[in-house]
Structure 1
Amino acid sequence: MTVMSRRALMKLGLASTGALTLGARAGFGHENPMPDALRQALERAPFAPVLGNPEGDVTLTEFFDYNCPFCRTSVPVMKRVIDGDKKLRVVFREWPIFGEGSIFATKASLATLKQGKYWAFHERLMAIKGKANEQSVMEVVRAVGLDETRLKRDMESDEVLGHIDHSMQLGEHLGLAGTPSFIAGHEGLFGKQEFSAMTGLIAKARTDLL
């Protein structure tokens, strides 16, 4: 499914929250809800932003889009979750499903990894008013103090484009309904989540995996 064709699906899911069913498309069995190869692809792919403890005992993966309103409101919850759990590893999977502005934002965001300013850029871009598009993204680029020439070159790098393609494949394979989607262990949550739901998901993953 192409990026643009996902927009209709996303609009249908924006007002929804709840549990994800991981397995309808991924072929999970009862004895092994998430095959090792799929978990490696989800949690250990190169050039995916990693926050929290890189050596953490459990990994929480978030699929998000910079033009998703619930993704924006999830930032303070994610910060609280990370600050409160020193054993948690967090992987961000940028999944630009809201169109061309989201694609540009994602390319720019991932390119900041090469300049060591990913979180500063991510947090600031998530806090903007209005849509993330080329104009608003470049305003954040300048505010954060990034090298624009290098950024634009890195936006078209194999690592950046590969991350986006990988997110599209994972989202399709897992049958995700939209953003934000959070996965830890064998389970996941979709939509805006309270702190208690997030910590509950992580606790369940520790019980299942450790």
Structure 2
Amino acid sequence: MKRFSKFLCGLAVFSALSVGASVCAEDGGSAHFTTEQRAEIVSILRQALKDDPTILTEALRSLREQMAQQQQNTVRDAVRQHWASLKDAPDYTVRGNSQGSVTVVEFLDPRCSYCRAMIPGVERFLARHKDVRLVERLVPVLGKGSVLDTQAIQAASLQGKYAVLRQALMNDTAAPSVERVRQIAQANGIDADRLVKDMNSPAVITTIRSNLDLAQAIGLDGTPTFVFGTAVIAPGALNDMQMDTDLEQARRG
């Protein structure tokens, strides 16, 4: 690891040579180099890369890991800042134990294939962990079809049918349309006329906008994304072991 740190410093030197910038020194401070010293450093770096090309590959991997960690820290800070809003949700969006000791927030798009694939995994997760309070936040990020289904599901909450329509639409493979929403609503005992009207109501639009604002605030870049307390932000489809590991981190805080 020390070799990589020195080499990363060397890369910084290499990139700064042309402008004579101040760069890292051996003691952790900064140094300025003469023209002769800069030429010698370039020569040393070039020879090192020629002798062992894997140094660059490993150094770049180390840089990527550092950047990923920095991004994770930034997102975690944003989650802590907005945690009160993230965990505060209407009862109809809460699954598992509504009085659970640990809250997990799931951002999902009803048209997202990965979100759909996670449905059985989330059910198994809640069955394994009876202390989990799972908050669902619908965010339509995949186009008009996503917006349509999200509006319909949120509108169904006004008839006490949020979970029913969410499940029905997320299991549906037909192309999204208002007529298709009507058909599925009627098949599930929902007043379709009222549903279509409520889809553009201020309550529905405000809820969707709030979810999107929270997603933006924490730097969400895809669905599904799971937020395990304020400890872990996990994007993508997760397996059972990953979810259990992230939950344990959330429990530890």
Report the residue type matching 2:248 in the other structure.
A
- In the aligned structure 1, how far is the partner of 2:106 from the partner of 2:122? 10
Relative contact order (C-alpha < 8 Å, sep 6+): which is higher? 1
2:203 corresponds to 1:156? no
**More displaced stretch, 124-133 vs 50-59:** 124-133
Q: Does structure 1 retain, via aligned residues, the 8 Å contact 2:89–2:135?
A: no
Please give the per-residue CA displacement for 1:185-204, whole angstroms capped at 9, x wherever unaligned. Answer: 22111111112211222221
RMSD: 2.4
Report the residue type matching 2:236 in the other structure.
G
Kindly name which structure, 1 or 2, has the bigger radius of gyration based on alpha carbons: 2
Alignment of 1:1-210 (within 5 A): 21-24=71-74, 28=77, 34-35=80-81, 38-46=82-90, 49-185=93-229, 186-208=231-253
Report the residue type matching 2:74 in the other structure.
A
SS in 2 for 1:177: coil
How far did 1:147 drift?
0.6
TM-score w.r.t. structure 2 length? 0.66
- In the aligned structure 2, how far is the partner of 1:127 from the partner of 1:82? 19
- In the aligned structure 2, how far is the partner of 1:21 from the partner of 1:127? 34
- In the aligned structure 2, how far is the partner of 1:25 from the partner of 1:83? 28
The alignment of Structure 1 onto Structure 2 pairs a total of residues equal to 185
TM-score w.r.t. structure 1 length? 0.79
Please give the per-residue CA displacement for 1:34-82, whole angstroms capped at 9, x wherever unaligned. Answer: 13xx111111044771111111111111111111110110111111112
Q: Does structure 2 retain, via aligned residues, the 8 Å contact 1:48–1:93?
A: no
Q: Does structure 1 retain, via aligned residues, the 8 Å contact 2:92–2:157?
A: no
Is there any run of 5+ residues in structure 1 with no aligned partner, and where? 1-17
- Please state which structure has a larger fraction of its residues in helix: 2
Please give the per-residue CA displacement for 1:161-199, whole angstroms capped at 9, x wherever unaligned. Answer: 111111211111111111001101221111111122112
Report the residue type matching 2:93 in the other structure.
P
Please give the per-residue CA displacement for 1:123-158, whole angstroms capped at 9, x wherever unaligned. Answer: 121111244343433332122110112212322233
Q: Does structure 1 retain, via aligned residues, the 8 Å contact 2:108–2:223?
A: yes
Is there any run of 5+ residues in structure 2 with no aligned partner, and where? 1-67
Against the structure 1 CA distance between its residues 119 and 45, is the aligned structure 2 distance closer, same or farther, given a 3 Å change threshold? closer
